[in-house]
């Protein structure tokens, strides 16, 4: 007969540590769907009452789940179960859009932040402008069915795109992904193509982990790409991060 995971978990002499048994009970809740992706875990006080232990033991159990990438801790909000999706095959261009559309998901993007800033060394090199030249940053969060897929930091050279500022003002804060192409056309970019892309892996920053709803200990995939116009002038430098357990990149052979 299966043990009721809601019953108190008490450690016996020589048995597994109590905090680890609590972790395993919570993992069982997650695996059978009692705690779904995005759900908030009970507080450490509630867990202490459920498992008949002290708060420190409950906190250690939660810390273990965070290390394993099962939950994410958002300070001031609580602890949440990490959402998981089946990996999606990715084409070379575009990296995100086509395969999600092929899966008939409701793909959209949200504008999280827009700001003007001087080009740093990295941005200036990518866009082939002088350091300190005015650029515009547009931060976009892409989602499919309210599940975050990517967080993109998009840098545009303002001197090369004098219509960009007006185009961004008219760009909806939340819209279908295809409208990002409309933004570029409105900014005077009639056609563009990706000239190069780099793919790497790293741990997320605090902002990235929060926006992508993932644990800080869980690695993400990062792409750094440059798009050029018909005259081969760089018009976009993008640094985009993806959750490695949600998406995979498949690059076709030349």
CATH number for the domain including 212? 3.40.1410.10
228 assigned to some structural domain: yes
124/153 same-domain check:
yes
d(C-alpha 241, C-alpha 243), whole Å: 7
131/76 same-domain check:
no
* b (16+ CB within 10 A) / e for 204-222: beeebbbbbbbbbebebbb
89 assigned to some structural domain: no
**For residue 248, pLDDT beyond 80:** no
Cα dihedral sign, 62-63-66-70: negative
72/185 same-domain check:
no
The torsion angles phi and psi of 130, rounded to 5 degrees, stand at -80, 150
86 assigned to some structural domain: no
62/167 same-domain check:
no
137 assigned to some structural domain: yes
107 assigned to some structural domain: yes
195/230 same-domain check:
yes
The torsion angles phi and psi of 52, rounded to 5 degrees, stand at 55, 55
**Burial class of residue 139 in the structure, from the number of CB atoms within 10 Å of its CB (0-12 exposed, 13-18 middle, 19+ buried):** middle
Q: What's the mean per-residue pLDDT of the chain?
A: 80
pLDDT number for residue 35:
87
Q: What digits encode the pLDDT tens for the residues 116-151?
A: 999 999 999 999 999 999 999 999 998 876 678 889
70 assigned to some structural domain: yes
**For residue 90, pLDDT beyond 50:** no
Asked if 202 contacts 220 with a C-beta cutoff of 8 angstroms, the reply is yes
Q: List Cβ neighbours of 1 (8 Å cut-off, separation of 6 or more).
A: none
206/118 same-domain check:
yes
Domain boundary among 52, 81, 110: 81
Q: How many CB atoms sit inside 10 A of residue 164's CB?
A: 23
Task: Return the closest-CA partner of residue 247 out of 153, 144, 112.
Answer: 144
57/156 same-domain check:
no
Largest CA distance in the chain: 74
d(C-alpha 220, C-alpha 68), whole Å: 15
Q: For residue 193, what is the enclosing H or E element?
A: strand 192-202
151/194 same-domain check:
yes
75/159 same-domain check:
no
Between residues 181 and 192, the one the model is more confident about: 192
Measured CA distances, 70 to 8, 26, 55 (Å): 22, 10, 20
Q: What digits encode the pLDDT tens for the residues 7-59?
A: 545 444 344 689 999 999 998 888 888 888 778 899 989 999 999 999 999 99
Looking at the chain, list the stretches that DSSP marks H as alpha helix, in order from N- to C-terminal side.
18-31, 44-51, 55-67, 97-102, 121-127, 164-170, 179-186, 206-212
Task: Return the closest-CA partner of residue 126 out of 225, 229, 21, 244.
Answer: 225
10 assigned to some structural domain: no
Residue ranges making up the domain that contains 113: 97-243
């Amino acid at each position: 007969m299966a043990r009721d995971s809601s019953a108190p978990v008490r450690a016996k002499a020589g048995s597994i540590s109590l905090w680890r048994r609590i972790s395993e009970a919570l993992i069982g809740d997650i695996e059978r769907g009692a705690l779904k992706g995005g759900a908030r875990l009970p507080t450490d006080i509630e867990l202490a009452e459920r498992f008949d232990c002290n708060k420190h033991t409950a906190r250690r159990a939660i810390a273990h789940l965070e290390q394993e990438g099962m939950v994410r801790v958002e300070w001031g909000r609580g602890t949440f179960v990490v959402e998981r999706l089946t990996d999606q095959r990715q084409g070379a261009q575009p990296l995100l859009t086509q395969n999600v559309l092929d899966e008939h998901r409701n793909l959209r993007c949200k504008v999280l932040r827009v700001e003007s800033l001087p080009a740093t060394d990295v941005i200036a090199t990518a866009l082939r402008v002088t350091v300190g030249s005015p650029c515009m940053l547009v931060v976009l969060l892409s989602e499919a069915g309210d599940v975050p897929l990517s967080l993109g930091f998009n840098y545009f050279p303002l001197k090369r795109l004098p219509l960009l500022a007006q185009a961004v003002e008219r760009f909806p804060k939340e819209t279908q992904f295809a409208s990002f192409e409309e933004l570029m056309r409105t900014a005077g970019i009639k056609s563009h193509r990706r000239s190069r892309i780099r793919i790497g892996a790293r741990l997320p920053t605090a902002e990235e982990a929060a926006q992508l709803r993932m644990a800080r200990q869980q690695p993400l995939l990062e792409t750094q790409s440059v798009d050029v116009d018909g005259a081969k002038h760089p018009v976009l430098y993008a640094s985009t991060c993806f959750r490695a357990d949600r998406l995979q990149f498949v690059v076709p052979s030349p």
